[in-house]
Amino acid sequence: MATVPAALIHSLEQLPHFDKEAFIAVHAAEEKVTSVRINPVKFGLEDVAHFSGVQLTNTNPVAVPWSQYGFYLPQRPSFTFDPLFHAGCYYVQEASSMFLEQALLQHGQLEQDQKVLDLCAAPGGKSTHIQSLISAGSLLVSNEVIKARAGILKQNLTRWGAANTVVTNNDPQHFARLAGFFDIMVVDAPCSGSGLFRRDPQAINVWSEDAVQLCCGRQRRILADALPALRSGGLLVYSTCSYSAEEDEAIADWLVQDCGMEPLQLEVPAEWQIVTTSAPASGPKGYRFFPDKTKGEGFYLACFRKKAVDDTRYKTAKPEKASAKEVAALATWLDTSQLEVLKEGFLYALPAHLLEAYSMVKANLYVQQAGIRLGEVMKDKLVPDHALALSGLLHDDVPGTDLSLEDAIRYLQRQDLSFVPEKRGWQTVRYKGHELGWINALGNRLNNYYPKELRILKQGGPDQ
C-alpha cells in the first residue's frame, strides 16, 4: 500500500483544491491505471480494439480527454508479448503526461514547420508524442544527458519510425552553442518523482525534503543552461511529475521573475478536473493533476513565451553525403527523391529540407542517431538496417511475410524460424500488416535479423 510521506502531505495542504483525505485514500487504494498512445502513422483509431490480451467491451477502451491519440485500457496486457508494441504501433504512457498535447496545440503554432527540442527526453514518451503532433517538415531534437538512457530513447524512436527526429546525448549547457535555434523547447525535468508514488511505491523510500531541494536546484540549472537555445518568441513547456511546489510553482515564478519569460495560459474544460494554480510571486498559471481528481498520476505543466533576444549565429558543418552509386543501390527498396541520403559508415536518411538545420545540430551537439538508418551498401547491394523496416519508407513491393502470433514472438525472441517464405533474399516479417524487422531467406536456411539488443528475453508468452 502506498503511504504518502507526512512531510509531503503537509507541504501540499496550502495548494488550491488539495483534498487531503481523497489524496491519501487514492494512494492507499492501489488502483493501477493503464494507458497507451497510438502512433497515428501506423495505427488507426479503429485498431485500438486489437491490443493482444485485452478483453474489450462496448465501453472500453476509453479516450484520454486531453489527447487525440491516448486511450485507457481496461487491464494491463503483456506489452512485451504484443508484437504491435515492438512494431511501434503505440507507446505505453501515463495519461496525465499526455497533457503536453494541449500546450503544443494551443501555443505551438504546429501548422508551421517548427524546430523542437525535447531536452530531457529518455525514454521517449514526450518525444514520440511530439513527433505525432508536429508537421512532417518540422525537426525534433530529442536529447538525453545519460548515455545509457539515450540508448533506450534511440530504440523507442526507431520503433516510432519517423525520419524527422535526431537523438543527441548532451549536457543542457551545450545547447548554448545553438543560441536562438529552437522554436519550441520541452523541459520534462528530472524531479523528486512524488507524482508516481501510486505506480511505483518504492519511490516513496527515496523521497525526502532534501531530495526536493536538490531537484529544484537542478531544475533551475537545466533551464538556465538551455534557455538561450530558444528563439525570441519561442515556446517553453516545463513539466514535472512532482507534487512539490518548490519544483513546480516556484520554478514558474523564477522563470518569469529571473529569466524574463512571459507566462501563458491554457484553455482547460472544467470537466477534466485539472487544478489550475497561480504561482505566488508573479502569478504564472500551472496545471496540476491529482489522481483523486483525474484518471492518471501526479503531473505539473506550465507554458511560457520567451521575450529575450539571443544571438543567432552557429557553427555549421555539412554531413557527408552518400555517393550516387550508393543512392542507386537504394532504388529497389525506397524512394529517395524527397530524402537526403547521408553517410557515416552506414547510410541514413533525413527529409531533404531538414539538411540545413541538421547540419547545425550536427556541428554543435553529439548526435547519436539522425533520421532513419538505412543500412550499408556492400558490393553494390544494400544490407538493410532494422530501422528501415520500421520506417514506413519501404516500397510496397518489398517482399514480406505476415506471421502468426506464435511465429512473431519467436522472431522477436530471435529464435530460429520454421515457416517457408515465398521468395529468397532479404525481406520483412510482419504482424497484422505491421513490419517487425528483417529476415534473409537463403535456400534451405532462414536468418533472423532481429537486433540482439531488442530481443524479448522474458520467458513465457502472451497468456502468461
Residue ranges for the known binding site for S-adenosyl-L-methionine are 120-126, 144, 171, 188
Q: Residues 103, 145, 365, 389: which binds ligand SAM (CB under 6 A)? A: 145
- The residue range among 25-33, 119-127, 248-256, 436-444 that interacts with ligand SAM, by the rule CB under 6 A, is 119-127
Half-sphere CA count of 229, side-chain side, radius 13 A: 28
For ligand SAM, the closer of residues 238 and 450 by Cβ is: 238
Interface with ligand SAM, residue 297, by CB under 6 A? no
HEC string of the chain?
CCCCCHHHHHHHCCCCCCCHHHHHHHHHCCCCCEEEEECCCCCCHHHHHHCCCCCCCCCCCEECCCCCCEEEECCCCCHHHCHHHHCCCEEECCCHHHHHHHHHHHHCCCCCCCEEEECCCCCCHHHHHHHHHCCCCCEEEEECCCHHHHHHHHHHHHHHCCCCEEEECCCHHHHHHHCCCEEEEEEECCCCCHHHCCCCCCHHHHCCHHHHHHHHHHHHHHHHHHHHHEEEEEEEEEEECCCCCCCCHHHHHHHHHCCCEEEECCCCCHHHCCEEEECCCCCCEEEEECCCCCCCCCEEEEEEEECCCCCCCCCCCCCCECCHHHHHHCCCCECCCCEEEEEECEEEEEEHHHHHHHHHHHHHCCEEEECEEEEEEECCEEEECHHHHCCCCECCCCCEEECCHHHHHHHHCCCCCCCCCCCCEEEEEEECCEEEEEEEEECCEEEECCCHHHCCCCCCCCCC
Site for ligand SAM, residues 148 to 167, rule: CB under 6 A? 149
Q: Residues 172, 286, 400, 437: which binds ligand SAM (CB under 6 A)? A: 172
As measured in angstroms, the least distance from the Cβ of 203 to ligand SAM is: 12
As measured in angstroms, the least distance from the Cβ of 99 to ligand SAM is: 12
Q: Residues 4, 8, 87, 121: which binds ligand SAM (CB under 6 A)? A: 121
Interface with ligand SAM, residue 120, by CB under 6 A? yes
As measured in angstroms, the least distance from the Cβ of 149 to ligand SAM is: 5
For ligand SAM, the closer of residues 186 and 347 by Cβ is: 186
Q: Residues 222, 349, 372, 388: which binds ligand SAM (CB under 6 A)? A: 222
Q: Which of 89, 215, 241, 303 is catalytic?
A: 241
As measured in angstroms, the least distance from the Cβ of 373 to ligand SAM is: 21
Contact letters (x/-) for ligand SAM, 384-403, by CB under 6 A? --------------------
- The residue range among 63-71, 123-131, 292-300, 358-366 that interacts with ligand SAM, by the rule CB under 6 A, is 123-131
Interface with ligand SAM, residue 124, by CB under 6 A? yes
Interface with ligand SAM, residue 123, by CB under 6 A? yes
Rounded to whole angstroms, the Cα distance separating 300 from 249 reads 9
Judge whether 216 counts as a catalytic residue. Answer: no
For ligand SAM, the closer of residues 170 and 427 by Cβ is: 170
Residue ranges for the known binding site are 120-126, 144, 171, 188
Amino acid at 40: P
Radius of gyration of the chain, Cα coordinates, nearest whole angstrom = 23
**Location of C-alpha cell 534473409:** 440
Q: Residues 61, 77, 190, 291: which binds ligand SAM (CB under 6 A)? A: 190
For ligand SAM, the closer of residues 61 and 124 by Cβ is: 124
Q: Residues 82, 101, 144, 249: which binds ligand SAM (CB under 6 A)? A: 144
As measured in angstroms, the least distance from the Cβ of 463 to ligand SAM is: 29
Interface with ligand SAM, residue 146, by CB under 6 A? yes
The size of the interface with ligand SAM (CB under 6 A), counted in residues, is 17
As measured in angstroms, the least distance from the Cβ of 454 to ligand SAM is: 18
Residues forming the active site: 241
Applying CB under 6 A, the residues found at the interface with ligand SAM are 97, 120-126, 144-146, 149, 172, 188, 190, 218, 222
